Amino acid sequence: MARDPERRFAGLTRSRAAERPRPRRELAPYPDPTVVELRNVSRTYGSEPPVRALRGVDLVVNRGDAIAIVGPSGSGKSTLLNIVGCLDRPTGGRCLIEGTDVASLDEEELAAVRGRLLGFVFQTFNLLAHRTVIENVMLSEVYRGGDRTGRRERAMEALERVGVADRADFLPGKLSGGQQQRVAIARALTGAPSLLLCDEPTGNLDSANTESMLGLFDELVAGGMTMLLITHDESVAARMPRRTTIVDGRLSEHV
């Protein structure tokens, strides 16, 4: 079965943190408007009987698109996120990120794609409790092996962008759930990712914080952020300009 993308990503992040930071790999600019293209993607898990988590999925995400993928538990949402997020590989079809078929990449190259091109926001915030807000955001560049010069300034800019710069020196436990999720989004935005992947980002928030978070997403979308948001909540999906539905591993676009 599909491994939870949040646990998979957290495990990779911990292993990267234990390593000496490596110089950031430079990737050539990609002028094409297509950020992600899935071509007849399938994913089958080798249980008995086999589980067909994705079935012939086609999806094009262009620069500036903000797309909701809505579906119930077990529909294939997490598997799709794993593949687009370079945490898993399809068993059929092709997944291209900025023109590169990720199935052709080794683990180091996949890590470079995750670090440079993708930002992740999950249902739980994954903030380090003993680190301040700004240290949590700065650590994202440490994991990527980014340049130390200007790291604090870039982190503060990201916090300002999401409206929590005044909490920079707080510990996460002193923040509300909505504020913690804003910090997690700021962390994902450092390095200017080509695509922001959001997995049930309002799942742990109350109604007031959910509305605040959706307002922030509205601002990011208006600013041209490319976003893929996975949710089971129709009201959250309705805030995205494009909506798709996934059921039994099959993706369909709303017209």
User: Mind listing the pLDDT tens digit for each residue in 13-42?
Assistant: 555 544 444 444 444 555 578 999 999 999
What's residue 49's pLDDT? 87
CATH number at residue 40: 3.40.50.300
Report if residue 25 sits inside a domain. no
pLDDT tens-digit map of 49-80? 889 999 999 999 999 999 999 999 899 999 99
Report if residue 41 sits inside a domain. yes
Report if residue 20 sits inside a domain. no
Q: What is the pTM for the complete model shown? A: 0.83
Q: In this model, does residue 189 exceed pLDDT 50?
A: yes
Report if residue 24 sits inside a domain. no
- The domain of 51 spans 5-9+31-253
Report if residue 18 sits inside a domain. no
Report if residue 73 sits inside a domain. yes
C-alpha–C-alpha distance, residues 127 and 32, integer Å: 34
pLDDT tens-digit map of 139-181? 888 777 667 788 999 999 999 999 999 999 999 999 999 999 9
C-alpha–C-alpha distance, residues 98 and 63, integer Å: 10
Report if residue 16 sits inside a domain. no
The token pair at 128 is: 């380090």
Report if residue 217 sits inside a domain. yes
What's residue 6's pLDDT? 62
